[in-house]
Amino acid sequence: MEHIEDRLLFSIEGNLESFVAEIDLEGLEDTNEADASGTYDALRALPPEEMAERVRAFWPTMAADVRVLVDGDPVELRLDAVDVPAVGNPELPRESRLAFSAALPEGAAQMQIDWPARYGVLVLRQMGVEEGWDGYLTGGLSEEVSLSGGQALTGWQAFGRYIPVGVEHIVPLGLDHILFVLGLFFLSTRLRPLIWQVSAFTAAHTITLALAALGYVTVPGTIVEPIIAASIVYVAIENVFSRGMNPWRPLIIFGFGLLHGLGFASVLGEYGIPDSAFIPALLGFNVGVELGQLAVIAVAFVIVVSAMRLSEDGKRNPVAAAAYLLVAVVVVPLLVIPVSAMGPDAVEAFVPLLFMVAAVAGLSAASCAVERYETYRHMVAMPASIGIALIGAYWVVERVFL
């Protein structure tokens, strides 16, 4: 967004085919799951000028959906340009540009944009002024933006704003990263191996997250995502065949952490980082990721702690077994009710996590009901690791072939 003389200029870069196909992008992770996926795929294969014509024909609909308010009053939008690149790989989205503008009344001071949630996320940056505003819109009306600038985030504001973004990317949205962290957790009941693994993973993903965010490293998601899934399979399978941490595991975890950092960077790139507070925002996001990982480990520990202790003593505890069973078959299913009331996005994000809690609690119930040593390893850690490995293996196949 830029203010030049008596007009307010907007330039949107992104996947215009999804707009023209009228796909509802709110909460959608894969366009293949959309009802209009066939139309969307056909549009991606169109030559540039033909696709541009389709965008121009769609513009009246989009102009009616997107509202721009100047000093509280809506203004008329005018389509200025549509730039569509040549068809590359039709399996991948192509980045096109849509430029539109609005006339500004004399003395205009502030603007707002009302962005429909079904058009997906909008990262909006104010250009051509000092300390321009940066915004991340998932739908709805933006805050009031001064046309003269001066609303850039401070370092502390950016740091605080990006911590929740990092947490959210792990819990509840980062199911693959959650399974990887759980794979680290289930290796051993001792704290030291977990610290070594988490430290190696943290150091590695911090390095590549920073390098990718700064633009020094770029690896396509088609390469990164299958390897992330493969890393889940590796750590889980090793848990089954290893009784503890071997000397090379931290090095392998470090290598996988480098790839996970690239995955984090792709999410951060979609969210956008303010130029005025790049480093604080990056640090805040990374802190959020660490808090999310620690939350996963803390919840996993709370769920299995009784099973761990009884396994070391070789004792059974019917009360603990009953409590675990109550969590698995009563408490967790009841939690689905408030989650369902939060909407389909919440269901998609949280129900898999609740299922994992129920599964681990059920395994812990069985472990507490048996009187012998090492029940935790054989009845909790190993079955859980096998389950994690199977999910990771499915993701490898899905991300490579499907």
- Kindly list the domain boundaries of the chain, sorted by start residue: 2-152, 156-401
Token reading at 67: 């509202």
pLDDT digits (tens, 9 = 90+) for 232-280: 999 999 999 988 888 889 999 999 999 999 988 888 877 778 777 889 9
User: What residues in the chain have per-residue pLDDT under 70?
Assistant: 29
- Residue 400: DSSP 8-state: H
Token reading at 272: 């956008």
Q: What is the pLDDT of residue 34?
A: 80
Token reading at 181: 């962290």
- Residue 86: DSSP 8-state: P
| Number of neighbours of residue 74 by Cβ within 10 angstroms | 12
User: Cβ distance 303 to 328 under 8 Å?
Assistant: no
User: Cβ distance 311 to 367 under 8 Å?
Assistant: yes
**What's the CA gap between 11 and 53, in Å, rounded?**
18
Secondary element (H or E) of residue 111? strand 110-115
Residues near 310 by beta carbon (within 8 Å), at least 6 away in sequence: 316, 317, 320, 367, 368, 375, 376
Which position has the token pair 């690149």? 85
What DSSP string describes 166-189?
A: HHHHHTTT-HHHHHHHHHHHTT-S
Q: Can you list the alpha helix ranges (DSSP code H) found in 126-172?
A: 155-170
Q: What is the pLDDT of residue 392?
A: 96
**What's the CA gap between 228 and 176, in Å, rounded?**
8
User: Cβ distance 68 to 8 under 8 Å?
Assistant: yes
Q: What is the pLDDT of residue 29?
A: 67
**What's the CA gap between 121 and 310, in Å, rounded?**
48
Task: Please report the beta strands in 58-144, taking only residues with DSSP state E, as ranges in sequence order.
Answer: 67-70, 73-74, 77-83, 96-103, 110-115, 122-125, 134-137, 140-141
User: Cβ distance 392 to 230 under 8 Å?
Assistant: yes
Q: What is the pLDDT of residue 154?
A: 84
Q: What is the pLDDT of residue 265?
A: 87
User: Cβ distance 261 to 269 under 8 Å?
Assistant: no
Among candidate residues 250, 251, 282, the one with its CA nearest the CA of residue 264: 282
The two counts, helices (H) then strands (E), for the chain are 14, 11
Pairing of strands 77-83, 73-74: unpaired
Residue 233, judged by CB atoms within 10 A of its CB (0-12, 13-18, 19+), counts as buried
